[in-house]
Amino acid sequence: MTGHGAKFSRKMEEAVAAVLTQKNLEEAARSAGIGTATLLRWQKMPEFKAALRQARRDAYSQSIGRLQQATSAAVSTLLKTMVDPGTPPSTKVRAADSVLSHAAKAIELEDIEARVSELERAAEEASKKK
């Protein structure tokens, strides 16, 4: 039975990755080599939900990192637009402003996540002391 458990865990990991990369559940199930009904059933399991939530967070975090890296280019675009009197700035400025706004929001979200993590850690320590 140990082999089955290991295979199940590997399949669940494949399913999590497939849910993130495929355009619908049917394609995700097919990509993971499982049936759609199995994937639907797994999505109700707490450990699968947690793994999917973590995978989504990880993917989002990578995207935010890329967005934050683009802030330098956004500032350059904004500054070039500001000093170039001949270029209609509206489209470029809106794009640069969007990148900066999203990066600022990402920092706020990271700060909130850090605070929540610290609260969770403190709550866990407090529950262990009881």
Task: Let me know whether 50 and 75 are in one domain.
Answer: no
Cα 95 to Cα 27, 55, 57, 86: the distances in Å are: 34, 28, 25, 18
Task: Let me know whether 2 and 50 are in one domain.
Answer: yes
Is 22 among the domain residues?
yes
Task: Let me know whether 21 and 74 are in one domain.
Answer: no
Show Cβ contacts of residue 103 under 8 Å, excluding neighbours closer than 6 positions. 67, 68, 70, 71, 74
User: Tens digit of pLDDT for each residue in 97-129?
Assistant: 888 888 899 999 999 999 999 999 999 999 988
pTM above 0.75, yes or no: no
Taking residues 65-70, what's their average pLDDT?
A: 91
Domain hosting residue 85, numbered range: 70-130
Number of domains observed in the structure of the chain? 2
Asked if 57 and 48 touch (Cβ cutoff 8 Å), the reply is: no
> Coil, strand, or helix at residue 34?
coil
User: Tens digit of pLDDT for each residue in 12-51?
Assistant: 999 999 999 999 999 999 999 999 999 999 999 999 999 9
Residue 8: predicted pLDDT: 57
pLDDT at 1 over 50: no
